[in-house]
Amino acid sequence: MHSDARVEGLRGRRRFALTLGGGFVAVVGTVVGLARWDASPAPTPAPPAVGVHRDPARELARERLRALVQASRALMPSGYSNVYVGITVQDLRSARPTVVRGRSTSDGRSDVWEESLPDGTHVIYLVAPDLGVVTQVQFMARLANGDALLTDFRTRRERYGDPTGFWDCPETPESSPIRRITWSGDAASVMEAILLTPTAVSVTLVVGATEDIHHALLHGHCQAVTADGLSHWPVATDLRGEEAPFAHPR
């Protein structure tokens, strides 16, 4: 198979320190709309009274949110099965006691809660400010070299299967050029953003609503990578976007 060749071009790159360029914060309209109905599992409702009809739009919203909760929970990395899209900040703080309040995103659309793990991974939880629910989770890490990126890709493929897409996203005023890999599902999806500089490599694993992942690709002007282009990686010479701290390479 040619899957390993997709990251083979990174082998032997130098080690580095990293400042991560962001620019892949998805707008989370769907999740925000659904969370207005039910951000947490609701108790079993009483049977409706005779002659009283359920609101079809509300019931549809509940079903979509339940599907998103279940799908996103199943996609979280090991050790994070108690975290999901739609979880309240209160429940997040109970599930992840080390999370702290960070700054808001540069566009002001999301509050940020974050935690740093012993292995050097920095976890970002995007929260809808008016609702207090998590709309997206990002796992950011810098890697020691290209071999580590190859290992990372193999790990993702073992966990999620073959990717559904490879995307190159050009440099914009908001973002450095990056490559993104997607594993798309019906309700929730996974996207990994890979940022390369002449001396650095970092990865950000994103779990969020499928609509928001797709919006991020559109917002980033990303184009599908052809088979011939898989070995040609975008390299950033000017870092742009959000920044995140890292303790050490993973």
The tens digit of pLDDT for each residue in 208-232 reads: 999 999 999 998 899 999 888 888 8
What CA dihedral angle connects 155, 195, 3 and 214, to 10 degrees?
90
Residue type, 134: V
pTM beyond cutoff 0.85:
no
| Whole-number pLDDT of residue 238 | 67
| Whole-number pLDDT of residue 140 | 93
Chain segment 89-118, per-residue pLDDT in tens: 999 999 999 999 988 776 777 899 999 999
| Whole-number pLDDT of residue 221 | 92
Among 165, 161, 175, CA closest to 210: 165
Tokens 């974050």 found at? 114
Among 122, 130, 86, 124, CA closest to 103: 124
Within 10 angstroms of residue 161's Cβ, the number of other Cβ atoms is 9
4: pLDDT confidence band, cut at 50, 70 and 90?
A: very low
Chain segment 167-213, per-residue pLDDT in tens: 999 988 777 889 999 999 999 999 999 998 888 889 999 999 999 99
Say whether pLDDT at 32 is over 70.
no
What CA dihedral angle connects 112, 117, 120 and 122, to 10 degrees?
-10
Say whether pLDDT at 130 is over 90.
no
7: pLDDT confidence band, cut at 50, 70 and 90?
A: very low
| Whole-number pLDDT of residue 191 | 96
Enter the tokens of residue 160: 């999620």
Q: What is the mean pLDDT of residues 61-70?
A: 86
| Whole-number pLDDT of residue 91 | 96
65: pLDDT confidence band, cut at 50, 70 and 90?
A: confident
Please report the DSSP string for the chain in residue order.
--TTHHHHTTTTPPP-------------HHHHHHHTT-SSPPPPPPPPPTT----HHHHHHHHHHHHHHHHHHHHSPTT-TT--TT-BHHHHHHH-TT-EE-PPPTTSS-EEEEEE-TTS-EEEEEEETTTTEEEEEEEEEE-SSHHHHHHHHHHHHHHH-S-SEEEEE--BTTB--EEEEEE--SSEEEEEEEEEETTEEEEEEEEEEHHHHHHHHHHTT-EEPPGGGTT-----SS--S-----SS--
| Whole-number pLDDT of residue 35 | 39
Higher-pLDDT residue of 132 and 61 is 132
Domain borders along the chain are 5-82+138-229
| Whole-number pLDDT of residue 104 | 74
Say whether pLDDT at 248 is over 80.
no
Higher-pLDDT residue of 239 and 50 is 239
